[in-house]
Amino acid sequence: MTNRKTVAERKFRPAKQEAQDACRNVGTPQTQSEAYKLAFQDNEFLLRDDLRPIRFQLELLKPELLLDEAKIASTFVFYGSARIPAPAAAQERVALARTDWDQRVAKRLAEKSKYYEEARALARIAAAYPVDADGKRHFVVCSGGGPSIMEAANRGASDVDQSSIGLNITLPHEQAPNPYVTPELSFQFHYFALRKMHFTLRARALAVFPGGFGTFDEFFELLTLIQTGKMKRIPVLLFGRDFWTRVVDFEALAEEGVIGPADLDLISWVETADEAWSVVRRFYDAGGPGEGR
């Protein structure tokens, strides 16, 4: 009779066990050489320029596996500045400003600080979306993991006791995840390109708040993916019409012929969390994020 346990059991030792054994250096010149290290334990080897394609693959694969294991089927992505303070902090900055330039900048940031609370409110709504029949989660809040608007998004999910994702990036200056990111869903990236890919892979809605170069980069890449048909359309919620129309003349792009008039319809202008969620609900006809157009 076939022994089922014997048939099913693993025949090779796990790599983790092999790695532990490999660290038991016997102290000879051969075993102390860098060449003797297991390839996947040799950081100097893994960080060689030649290994960049492997690092790309690993940086794509690690979050993908962990998000799958967390049963996260779709996300609600939040983009926005790392410099817009919460309302209370914004007023403090105005009070501390000394030069005319600092006063003007501080006041403009204070005007935009309302979006901290709108991002937080929208995240609370999205994070409360129920799991589906298979136990998978949808509209899971996903931010860049940093301060300001990103912090507000993760904080909103935390307000309703739900987990949220932070996709942090290593930078020359100090960059740490905000305290509201779920530790098990806090990821660190070296490559901006792979980070942006993870922003879009599970995205079923996108909220874009006022921001700088990074926000522009992420926002316009996603618009390009939708415009060119590389990505199916999702709700793109643009908060802050006064800000955006001041820094980007979308109508002029159409009038100049470099985008089509229909491309302007890819954007939904909103000012509040409730408006934004209404757009998302209409887009998916009150169904789940897997039931859209």
The pair of structure tokens assigned to 112 is 């935009």
In the chain, what is the straight-line distance between the N-terminal and C-terminal CA atoms, in Å?
Answer: 54
Is residue 40 in a domain?
A: no
Round the average pLDDT of the chain to a whole number and report it. 92
The residue among 148, 160, 174 whose CA lies nearest residue 78 is 148
* Residues counted in the chain: 293
The alpha-helical segments, DSSP class H, found in the chain are 4-8, 15-22, 29-32, 43-46, 52-69, 87-96, 100-112, 114-127, 149-159, 192-201, 213-227, 241-247, 250-255, 273-283
CATH of the domain at 55: 3.40.50.450
Cα 293–chain centre separation: 23
Is residue 96 in a domain?
A: no
pLDDT of residue 258: 97
Q: What is the pLDDT of residues 206-236, one digit of tens each?
A: 999 999 999 999 999 999 999 999 999 999 9
Instruction: Please report, rounded to a whole number, the percentage of residues in the chain having pLDDT higher than 90.
Output: 76
Question: The dihedral of CA 48, 50, 52, 55: what is its sign?
Answer: negative
Three-state secondary structure call for residue 181: coil
The residue among 49, 50, 207, 240 whose CA lies nearest residue 121 is 207
Q: Taking residues 242-258, report their average pLDDT.
A: 97
Is residue 191 in a domain?
A: yes
Is residue 268 in a domain?
A: yes
Q: Which range, 4-8, 80-84, 171-175, is most confident?
A: 80-84
| Residues 183, 197: Cα–Cα separation, whole Å | 21
Is residue 95 in a domain?
A: no
Is residue 30 in a domain?
A: no
Specify the number of domains making up the chain: 1
Whether 293 shows a pLDDT value over 60: the answer reads: no
- State which residues form the domain around 229: 49-85+115-283
Is residue 24 in a domain?
A: no
Whether 272 shows a pLDDT value over 80: the answer reads: yes
Q: What is the pLDDT of residues 55-98, one digit of tens each?
A: 999 999 999 999 999 999 999 999 999 999 998 888 888 888 89
Whether 286 shows a pLDDT value over 80: the answer reads: no
Burial class (CB in 10 A: 0-12, 13-18, 19+), 97: middle
Is residue 242 in a domain?
A: yes
For the whole model, what pTM was predicted? 0.90
